[in-house]
Amino acid sequence: MINSQKWLSTNFFAFFFTWGVFLPFWTGWLTTEKGLSVSHASLIMGAGMLARAISTFVLFPAATKIFSLRVVMMWTAFLSLLVMALYIPANTFVSLLLITIAFNFVYPNLLPAMESSASVLIQNEQIHYGKSRSFGSIGYTVGLLLIGAVVAIWSEQAILWVMLAGLAFMWVSHTRPAPVSLTVKHKSIDGENRKSNFKRLLSSKPFVTVLILAILLQGAHASYYNFGYIYLQDLGVNSLYIGLVLNVAVLLEILFFTRADKLFANTKVSTMFLIAGIGSTIRWVLIYLFPNVWVFNISQLLHAASFGVAHYAFIQYISRSLSPSDIPAAQGMYAAFAFSLSTAILTLAGGYLYEIHPGAAFLGMTLCSIPSIVIVLLTRKKFSY
């Protein structure tokens, strides 16, 4: 019999290992190994995120109507590996742009697929989300530490090879047997189609409010994810230690997720979003006001609030409030808008601000975090979320 908790933990680890390589290091890899400027690399990454938004919003929910979550994850992992290999010979701006768009059209669908799997298993088998999600954070940590070590030894060229190895491991992991609830298609209520899932969700004011909060708070990490590595290089931090510095955030994230199920068992979703908004605002202001590695490290402690609490709040809302048939559509919108579209737009804006002043790229993210606080305060009693 398959241990669903262990299955989810293993696959969270596998995915977030690659996410820990791609998300923080890819802009730096494009600038160092492919010779692109920060603005050109930001343009490529921004275009990739736009492709990610379209794909996770349209392709992922559509695929789950045809195939089971297990099949979607298995083939997505395999195609991601194939597309990633195309980076090896690519050297021109156009070829790197096209490959990045193609990769982001496939690979990021694994994120809503994993989160949808978690939501289904929460409802069907009462697994502990925080416990398994913490293994994702551990995978992210391992990815960061490994990159820091291999770059110190073999330079930035090693980033691509670690990414390829991680994708291969993830594909193999998804070929193994999965929990039964993930091997069947979840039909919509009364035979409704994908469009009606979206329509039903978007007609729910509490869901739309929660989605907007998630978009603002996750999008506010755009500069951190895309320019954190470069920012630390500009501060003179050795490549070996950059991985350690970035890992401070993930270690707090791991600690949070291991305790989240108990800490927030009786906490309202709106309260969680309020905590995330305040933590996010303080984090970006600190980096702007004090441009040194020690304050950057201190700001990393707030990642558990700015990312962890915001993410946990959204997952808890859909797990408590939505039917299994609506979860893929909700996750698709979350991935498309919170992790892709908003991040794409803010990455382009952040790239422009970074070339004016590195700290301004981080301060600009408060234009998302501060409104999130206002929205929570204005809506929490009205919608009771």
Q: Quickly state the pLDDT bin for 80 (edges 50, 70, 90).
A: very high
CB 56 within 8 A of CB 336: yes
CA torsion through residues 237, 243, 249, 252, sign: negative
Whole-number pLDDT of residue 239: 72
Whole-number pLDDT of residue 371: 96
Six token digits for residue 151:
């770059």
Per-residue pLDDT tens digits for 271-301: 999 999 999 999 999 999 999 999 999 999 9
Place of tokens 């730096």: 28
Residue 127 φ/ψ region, left for φ over 0, alpha for ψ in the -120 to 50 degree band, beta for the rest? beta
Whole-number pLDDT of residue 189: 37
Phi, psi of 265, deg, nearest 5: -60, -35
Side-chain half-sphere CA neighbours of 102 within 13 A: 15
Tell me how far apart the alpha carbons of residues 215 and 219 are, in angstroms, rounded to a whole number: 6
Give 184-223 as a DSSP string. Answer: S--PPGGG--HHHHHHHHHT-HHHHHHHHHHHHHHHTTHH
Place of tokens 């809506």: 379
Range picked from 13-17, 33-37, 54-58, 381-385 for highest mean pLDDT: 13-17
Tell me how far apart the alpha carbons of residues 205 and 53 are, in angstroms, rounded to a whole number: 22
Place of tokens 């980033």: 159
Rg (C-alpha) for the chain, rounded Å, is 19
Amino acid at site 241:
Y
Once rounded to an integer, what is the mean pLDDT over residues 253-279?
89
Beta-carbon contacts of residue 284 (< 8 Å; ≥ 6 apart): 220, 223, 299, 362, 363, 364, 365, 366, 369
The total number of residues written for the chain in this structure: 385
Beta-carbon contacts of residue 136 (< 8 Å; ≥ 6 apart): 12, 13, 15, 16, 114, 257
Asked whether residue 98 carries a pLDDT value surpassing 70, the answer given is yes
Whole-number pLDDT of residue 195: 55
pTM score, whole prediction: 0.74
Which strand (E) or helix (H) includes residue 112? helix 110-125
Per-residue pLDDT tens digits for 149-193: 888 788 778 899 999 999 999 999 888 888 888 887 755 433 445
For residue 236, the SS3 value is: coil
Side-chain half-sphere CA neighbours of 319 within 13 A: 25
